[in-house]
Amino acid sequence: MFQRLQQKWKVNGLQLLLILCTFAIGGSLTGFAGKKLMNFFSIEQRWLWVIIYIILITILWPFSVLLVSVFFGQYAFFKSYIRKIGKRIGIGKTINNRQTTIGNDQKKANDQHEAIPLITHHSSLTNIAIFASGAGSNAQKIIDHFRNSNHIKVSLIVCNKPGAGILSIADREGIPALLIDKEKFFRGNAYMDELKEKKIDLIVLAGFLWKIPDELIKAFRGKIINIHPALLPKHGGKGMYGNYVHEAVIKAGEKESGITIHYVDEHYDNGDIIFQARCPVLENDTAESLAQRIHVLEHIHYPAIIEKILGPAK
């Protein structure tokens, strides 16, 4: 049963435990609050008391689990979960897309994965290359997500750091890995031959710390995406990665942070925004504790957004 839930919700074992704890404590809090509120009503008929109590706890439950989820770092999951329930019963169908301002432009970022532009590809199989520099937790989630797909395949892992965890993942998963060096990447042809050989349709940056060369951006215009651990346009730019970003968010006194999935252009963290998801910044947060909630958002949304922009099988 637990394995089925992990597969259905696309979470790891620890996340599943935190989610189940949130359900349990949130449910208990709902029942407790419901009974306390019922004391304010003088209802003699038992059947009427039961009906009102059921209505009351139905209203209270979403608020209770969202409140508890903040403390367990599962706010993003439950926000999405409750919205899905709402849509199924006909609530929230007219919610507008969030808008975020980039300079003088307004670019939409929708937590429901709607209105996301599709990437054009010309064959029945879409090949993804994942560029990563570190442990590869996002890459692993993407690989897991498309493991049984008939039309989307992670065909290449590109890494610039010998000994990085992502290379172990590539070896374990049987995915070809390409270890690159600066000379060829920045002053050569940016490994275009290797990418063409694998018929790569989309480049996914998942914790890749080198700037993408202009030649590669021109060749894959609109087909390179990145995930940034903050709400762009704030806290982006050169040197803003990992805990440096979270430290900047906390230092700035932000009340919320999140993730931004965006196209890559010639400038750091500047391409058009595809999607954003948010989480609260708590009063006692450290860079490490905030990073944990950001990682949850990354793991939930990045694979789903990639699938969304690639569109259905042809």
CATH number reported for the structural domain that contains residue 302 in this entry: 3.40.50.170
Same domain, 32 and 106: no
Q: Is residue 93, in this structure, part of any structural domain at all?
A: no
107 and 62 co-located in one domain:
no
Q: Which letter does DSSP use for residue 73 in this model?
A: T
Binned at pLDDT 50, 70 and 90, residue 111 comes out as: very low
The reply to whether 40 and 60 lie within a common domain is: yes
- Cα(255)–Cα(271) distance, rounded to whole angstroms? 24
228, 235, 246, 301: the catalytic one is: 228
Q: How many C-beta atoms surround the C-beta of residue 157 within 10 A?
A: 26
Do 32 and 172 reside in the same domain of the chain? no
- The pTM (predicted TM-score) of the whole model is 0.63
pLDDT score, position 82: 82
Would you state the structure tokens that stand for residue 200, as one six-digit string?
Answer: 């790569």
Q: Which helix (H) or strand (E) holds 228?
A: strand 224-228
CB 277 within 8 A of CB 250: no
84 & 206 share domain: no
Q: Are residues 36 and 155 in the same domain?
A: no
Averaged over 277-297, what is the pLDDT?
94
| Domain co-membership, 102 together with 77 | no
Q: Based on the residue annotation, tell me whether 301 is a catalytic residue of this protein.
A: no
Listed residue (219, 206, 235, 226) closest to 272, CA to CA: 226
Q: Within this chain, do residues 134 and 175 fall inside the same structural domain, yes or no?
A: yes
Domain span at 42: 2-88
Q: Residues 112, 118, 119, 124: what is their CA dihedral angle, to the nearest 10 degrees?
A: 100
Q: What pLDDT score was predicted for residue 94?
A: 34
Q: Which residues pair with 276 in a beta bridge?
A: 260
Count of domains for the chain? 2
Specify whether the CB–CB gap between 163 and 238 falls below 8 A. Answer: no
Structure tokens at 146: 């498309």
60 and 126: one domain? no
Quote the mean pLDDT of the chain: 85
CA trace torsion 269, 122, 112, 249 (10° rounding): -10
Overall average pLDDT of the 107-130 stretch: 61
Report whether the peptide linkage leading into residue 117 is cis, meaning its omega lies within 30 degrees of zero.
no
Picking from 72, 59, 51, the residue whose alpha carbon sits closest to that of residue 30 is 59
pLDDT tens-digit profile of 166-202? 999 999 999 999 999 999 999 999 999 999 999 999 9
Residue 22 and residue 71 in one domain: yes
Residue 313 has what pLDDT?
58
Q: What pLDDT digit, counting tens, does each position of 250-268 carry?
A: 999 999 999 999 999 988 8
Percent of residues, the chain, with pLDDT higher than 70: 85
What pLDDT was estimated at residue 279? 94
Assign 5 a pLDDT band (cuts: 50, 70, 90). Answer: confident
Structure confidence at residue 186 (pLDDT): 94
Residues 38 and 62 grouped into a single domain: yes
pLDDT single digits (tens) 40-91:
888 888 888 889 889 988 999 989 988 998 888 888 778 877 877 776 666 5
Q: Is pLDDT at 108 greater than 70 in this prediction?
A: no
